[in-house]
Chain A
Amino acid sequence: MNAACKDCKFYLPVDVFRGMCKMSKEKINPDDPFCAKAEQMKKCKFCSNYQSEKDFLGKCMGTNLAYPDMIAGKCADFQWYKQN
């Protein structure tokens, strides 16, 4: 999975086209690749409860509709996905 700025916990969304880095305050493109200081934010696609089904859609805990890019910072069931 290629991580982009929009997956970083320092990403501040301004609109659908661009955001801002919370640390540097620079304007950035959400699809720019991770920089050296980037850290993953909680998103469904990084959660062990998420199962992908098709493009941009999946299931949460096997039952609920979910989508990979949803920010899960406030989701009580979020668990970091551990790669084998």
Chain B
Amino acid sequence: MIAETQTHINYYGSEPGGEVTAREGKRKPTPRAEEARELYFESKSSVSMEFPYWYTRRWEQLEGEIPIIRRAEALKAGFEHMTPVIYPGELLVMGKAAYLRGSFPLPWLSEAFFMATEDKLYKEAEEAGKLTADSFTTMGTGGGNVIKSTGKVISIAGKFGIRVEEMPVMLEVARKWKDRSVDDVGHKYEQLVPGYKEKEALMRSVICMFDSGYTLPQGREVMNYYYPLQFGIDGIIQNCEDGIADVAGYPDMDRLYFYKAVILMLKGIKQWINNHAEEAQFLATIEKDENQKTEYLEMAERLAWISSKPPRSFHDALQMIWIFHVAVLNEDAISGLSPGRVGQVLYPYWKRDMANGVLNREKSIELLECMRIKFTEIDCFASMGVVGGVLSGNTFNNLCLGGLLKDGTSAANELEMLILEAGISCDTPQPTLSMLFDEKLPEEFLLKGIECTKIGTGYPAWVNNQVAMEFLLENYAHEGMNLEEARSWAIGGCLETSPGSWMPLEIDNEIHWIPGGSAPATSVGVHFLSLPKLLEVTLFDGMDMRTNQRIFPSHGYSLDSYEEIWQAFKVYFSRACHVLTLTNNIQHDAWRKISPSIINSMLKPDCLAKGKDIGQMGCRYNTTFNIESCGTTTFVNSLGSLKKNVFTEKNYTLDEYRKAILANFGYKTAQETGSYSLIDQVPTSDYQKWKKIHSQSLDAPKFGNDNPFVDGILKEWEEWFCEMAHNYRSLYDQPMYACQISVSTHGPMGAVTLASPDGRLSGTTFSDGSVSAYPGTDRNGPYALFNSATCWNHARSQNSQLNIKIHPSVVKGREGSRKFLEIIRAYLRKGGFHVQFNIVDSRMLKQAQDDPGKYRSLLVRVAGFTQYWVELGKQIQDEVISRTEYEEV
């Protein structure tokens, strides 16, 4: 295409010569972890109906019961009846369902998307625009995805396999939730919002990607493991019984029901743990290998112990936090449930065991590698649009390292060094790692992080500790956030800054202040808004020209100046935020009434102390709803092109631009070519007609080159967006804030967007992240990109996101490591919030696309998460390949 338009912009990036360069420093995991990972590689995403069956059965028996008690009883029944599964060699056990990559439908949240397409439920959801994003999402066709039905297995959403024996009961159970699920009840009431039809139009046009209230109502938050670690399950039950004695019969009776619900839940979890202890005992009886037999018996003893009491050792503690992590995951459809600063939470146990000779370095790494495998096994059952278009099959369990302690000194410790080591030796997508970069962190620790990043895992991502703290202090001060508390933060999900608290863990009569999440989901609300598509609709006066449907009434602006385009865009953007905020508030209200969080609430300060669940604002911090954008750089580049070509140089009229957009600048669409990046597009027979305007659009100034003309547009946008987001109020009557990560949505959102004024073609993927350059357009090197990206204050937003691709030769060796660290430092010192890297030769990615079978273990960084290449959809694969590859810095 480049030759065709004869533009001097090199959209390919430069082509390195010679052999494809491998990544550096590949190490092998311990034999135990390697065996477990091989089993993972061989296994497919599988759905079980056990949990939803028992949940629904118990729910039906309790008609008329207090809702939160009914919910607790249903969850309890689900946990108690799950078949325990333990795989040979496991040191950490238990999972979401009775398969290695198991998950299950949660029809009490939403039931329509997994019905047959001819089913009435499915058709109703389609009509409401809930399934449009599904049809524009490409799922990965390799790895563990069950992409099509075969034999006795039926494929759901192109990812999950269910046995044919379980399919009829899945449909029967789903129908029982019709008009009773969060989705259906929320939908009934959201239609009462004035202008509701506009919301449906926004969903059908995929200007908005999905509703959060019934898709992923929890997640993008940080776990808090303090209560089970400190008190054990029996201790928490005792606390709740004491709570009941204090509140029964007094006003604010919801506290009574909450405590009772927690007790019920914990009894279900106890039984679930003990079922696994029994299974371990059983396996020991049939085991011939003495070592394995001993491990089963130790496992049985450990599980029996922690089903009641606080952990005694690092191994106990690691098993316990894993159990509670899974327990929360089974409470809702959840992505982005981050374990948080686990290396600091578990440090007191680890240090004691090391001092007592219970643990050594090798055993520690083996356990940490086993932890990586367990997190990697996590799947989330959701629609194709969600699991493919947003998550890319990942579930974003983010483990954070570094940052500061309560007293403001470096929080890095030896256990975190080993977590990095395990991340190098056992490179798996999860948990992804994030380095909370602070100038106080020791050089040795930072270089260990570099060692991990440069082997191509994509983790740790590098995140600015001070910028995050500034964001938290600005947005949570009215709820009591202070500097000390701000230091306890961590990333929830991909990249959502999440508030935390310091909790006093007492071990051997010594208090250790451990950090943990202290807020509910920090990324629910308006998700995601496609900025380029909204600009397109603005240019066409409220029409979606792809579907020829009206989205908004005419904006009434003549668009005869750049400022008029801005004003009209702001009007539409604000309209979208308004109606989507209100409808999402209703959905989340339905969620908290029908399907309240009990387990996660129990874990989060100060729900137990207040006797209130998350939905009743039991958490310490509740300002957690946001407005999430997608395609920022494509949008900014498009405005830059219009400003230059239409209004400054007057090369074209706006009408001429509209015609060029509709004609896709004389090219076939991405859907026609089957390729989603700009580099592989095919001209039509009349492309010559549009050649000049396309060339000048591509030549217009692009973000990422330290060019004030276009960077100024980004600055103006960010300052307006970060401020206007506060105008909207969440369900909890708190101001909302801006959130700027694309996850994978730039793929499907790009797929429904016509050509854009920056020269991008119809259906191709948007720029990723929020401050990444559009592929191939950042031609002045990373430092120019850093200047562009930091032209606005990142602390005004929950995040910003910058992806960079570097050729492995650039960071090779010790000198390369130091240079790499300096690059990162330079960006973060300028005020950048986040940067992450793909260290890869792009030719290897092309080879992997052509021959995926040879690249089962190849990892790439997408946008806040690392994923196996073969499990990514083609939209995202094409986008990652086309990203600019720096061969020198």
Contacts and interface: CB of A to CB of B under 8 A. Distances in A.
A70 B53 contact: yes
Contacts of A68: 165
20 contacts: A10-B286, A12-B87, A13-B98, A14-B39, A15-B44, A15-B101, A16-B163, A17-B44, A20-B88, A54-B168, A56-B165, A56-B166, A57-B169, A65-B176, A67-B169, A68-B165, A70-B49, A74-B81, A74-B275, A75-B81
B660 interface: no
B848 to A, nearest CB: 23
Given A12-B85, A64-B57, A17 B98 contact: no
Contacts of B86: 12
Question: What 7 A-B pairs come out closest when comparing CB atoms?
Answer: A67-B169, A16-B161, A69-B165, A15-B46, A16-B46, A15-B44, A56-B168
Given A14-B100, A15-B101, A17-B153, A69 B168 contact: no
A1 to B, nearest CB: 13
A73 B168 contact: no
Nearest to A23: B286
Given A13-B99, A16-B46, A17-B153, 8 more contacts: A14-B100, A15-B99, A16-B146, A25-B88, A64-B57, A65-B176, A67-B53, A70-B169
A13 B85 contact: yes
Given A22-B283, A74-B82, A14 B169 contact: no
The interface size bin for chain B is 35 or more
Interface of B: 39, 42-47, 49-50, 53, 57, 80-83, 85-88, 98-101, 146, 152-153, 161-169, 172-173, 176, 275, 283, 286
Interface of A: 10, 12-17, 20, 22-23, 25, 30-31, 54-57, 64-71, 73-75
Contact of B173 (A31, A65, A69, A71): A65
Contacts of B101: 15
A27 to B, nearest CB: 8
Given A16-B46, A56-B167, A73 B83 contact: yes
Contacts of A30: 163
Given A15-B44, A69-B163, A71-B98, A57 B172 contact: yes
Contacts of A31: 152
Contact of A14 (B43, B57, B275): B43
Nearest to B167: A56
Contacts of B87: 12, 14, 20
Contacts of A69: 163, 165-166
B192 to A, nearest CB: 33
Given A13-B98, A71-B98, A22 B286 contact: yes
A30 B275 CA distance: 23
Contacts of B85: 12-13
Contact of A70 (B50, B80, B152): B50
Nearest to A27: B42
A23 B283 CA distance: 8
A16 B88 contact: no
Nearest to A67: B169
Nearest to B39: A14
Given A57-B169, A74-B275, A65 B161 contact: no
A16 B83 contact: no
B111 to A, nearest CB: 15
Nearest to B81: A74
Contacts of A15: 43-46, 99-101, 161
